[in-house]
Amino acid sequence: MAIMISLERNRVVDGVLLFDDRQVLGIGDLCRYKVIVDKSLLKEQGIDVNELFVRVKNEESPLLRPIYLTGPYACYVDVRPHHYDEDKKFDSNETIQFTSDLRPNEHFKAKLHLNENSRMENGFYSWIVDVISQVSVSALPKVEYRLRIGTTKAATKHVTETSELKGFKVEKLDTQSLWNLPPKYPEKPVHLVILTHGIFSNIGCDMLYMKDKIEQKCFAMDEKINPNVVLRGCMENVGKSARGVRYLGTRVGQYVIAEIEKLNESYKVDKISFIGHSLGGLVQAMAIHYIAVKRPDLFDPNTGVKPINFIAFASPFLGVVGDFPRYVSLALDVGALGITGRDLTLRHTPIISRNGLGGSRGPSRLHKLILEALPQKPALEVLQRLIHRTVYANVLHDGIVPLRTAALLYLDWNSLSKVHQIRKQKSLAMKKNPTDADLVLKPPVSHPSSSSDDTHSIAYPVDATTVFNESSEIAESEEDELVEDGEGYRPESNKKSGSSSELEQSEEPNVVDNSQKRKTTTGEIPVESMDKKAALQWLIPQAISQGKKYSKYMRTQTVDVTSESSESDTGLNGTLHVNQEEKKFIPPPAASTVMAAISVITSPVPTQKYIKDPSLRTDAIIHDKVYHPDELPPAHYMNRPFIKKVIYPNESNNRHQERIARAWQETMTWRKVLVDLKPDSHNNICVRRRFTNLFGNVVVHNMVETHFGIQACEKYAAL
């Protein structure tokens, strides 16, 4: 009797340990815990609480904290109540709890509040707890953690034995379980969606948010139009990023073939989509090429699967040789990233076998660059049959995969410049007088996609070809205030704050005080009427620098085929008239590779207000347009005089990039969506971690709505 009383007294003082779990995570591994509580049943057993406590501890040695090259030995953890949704306002004072970097021998504490935020329709309470490995480079390191849930903080720390109580349940899903979910309607045809990761990345963790959002959207649809999606990803390339595009794509292609055959044993796969991030865009293109060569029956127009979507997020279709600093390109050339690095710098790698490569035969085939071979037959025929071909690209901050290579080189640079000018005018108007901001003109709207074939475009809103997000209009004027007031994002440290501020200031290098303009002697248009002296100060340096500064935009400006006379905005070949003062062409600021790498570590994290209220988010889609083959300007580097090939050192690279870009676009329409995200935009664009990279939610939301939304799925159901 004394022992029983003592145990009961300890139970009251220390609380009850309800759950205790130890796991070891490798690269690409995670565990998802769904906690479900029936408060009435707990109360019947003497447990009357309004909150539970969670403690997650990284069990690794603290000596491993500084090791990043083979690690990092850390975890990402977040806790979400049942009613939290990133796309809806979370009107509550409750904190959304997460940590981006749970390092060795550190612990993370959270509370599970039994309130309306976590209350399900059946009266139970529910939360999701994700524990995600941050190991990113090598497949060898492992991270051990321990997760405990109790009725008190003391219980999660000191109590050793777990009490099994009715009314408390934890459902645990590991990586394989989450990535092998069955279709919602087993008897209906299945739409297989293949996700592909990039360099130093993985499917299990880094593409999880995108997978969750597609499933959330599709599972809630009416059965008549429900696409019955099944999301899968090849996990066999983890830790093998340096093996080359051909190697990685071949393995993904083999995985897709095996997965289709496996699913066909229980279901019927009749549609397929491909979604890739960064290098994953090239890898999935190589996978399509491999399947088209090895198993052409899978894409047979009559009996095979129907290709639906090809979507790429910040993918280097043209390589990176023209955008990286010379020292970075040189490092890639000599093998810093293995064969993949040479592929991306457009260096020839020995192709001793044509296995998995189609197209022309003979010795010339073996000398073709792998990036040039991807959009060739027979893969080209499959790509042309796709319903949607979409690329998402960062306008700013992405020094890893810059804008030109991610957007397939050719863009309507004039429209981008006008959007930038109007955003700048709006910003200045907001600073002077908030009421004057409404007087600023909206960006010009063109409608090149309105007459496009339904088989190649989504029915966009009237002004969707050049989107100007209203919330982004005041972004540039309010960004500093958001940092101070905590409404946009907050830095993790003073160092991060400085880096973030510095990057933001670089977004608008052309916004200068009038006093500064007067002091400037070169390169600026004078404010007052231009006298002879001022004209010489401006014209002479412009004449020297303008040609080089704008030449790459002149060559790749698309032709306005909707206008009767496009010469007012473009030249005869679709080039820009940048020397006219009224045009005031402003090219996008060049992204820094070094700053992009630093921002991975020093980037800001969202504040609670940002996480809870979508209306406060200033990240925006600034350009959304369907480009047609007849908008391409004439090829610039075709049949150039031999002397120019000798004089210009980058002639060969530019010629290769132009040829690759035209091969992708001469016979196909492409939807190009350009976005403006916070620093670390390369990871943000795919929301690599749910809350750390939430700045990219606008991109994922756009992708899901336009490719897996109701309107798109109605189209798929009619196929």
Interacting residues of 432 by C-beta distance below 8 A, sequence separation 6+: none
Amino acid at 637: Y
What SS3 string covers 539-571? Answer: HHHHHHHHHHHHHHHHHHECCCCCCCCHHHCEC
Rounded-to-integer distance, Cα 666 and Cα 627, Å: 10
Q: Any idea of the CA torsion for 413, 416, 421, 425, to the nearest 10 degrees?
A: 170
Cβ neighbours, 10 Å, residue 364: 9
CB 84 within 8 A of CB 90: yes
Secondary structure (3-state) at 387: coil
Supply the DSSP symbol for 7.
H
Rounded-to-integer distance, Cα 227 and Cα 95, Å: 35
In the chain, the N- to C-terminal Cα span, in Å, equals 73
Rounded-to-integer distance, Cα 380 and Cα 42, Å: 61
Give 208: exposed, middle or buried? Use CB within 10 Å, 0-12, 13-18, 19+: buried
Q: What angle do CA 692, 696, 697 make, to 5 degrees?
A: 95
Secondary structure (3-state) at 327: helix
Q: Any idea of the CA torsion for 706, 442, 682, 559, to the nearest 10 degrees?
A: 80
Rounded-to-integer distance, Cα 234 and Cα 274, Å: 12
Exposure string for 115-142, b = 16+ CB within 10 A, e = fewer: eebbbeeeebbbbbbbbbbbbbbeeebe
Question: Six-digit token pair at 116?
Answer: 């309306």
Active-site position among 133, 136, 278, 603: 278
Interacting residues of 334 by C-beta distance below 8 A, sequence separation 6+: none
Query: Could you confirm whether 278 is annotated as catalytic?
Result: yes
- For residue 317, what are the CA distances in angstroms to 323, 553, 563? 13, 18, 30
Active-site residue set: 278
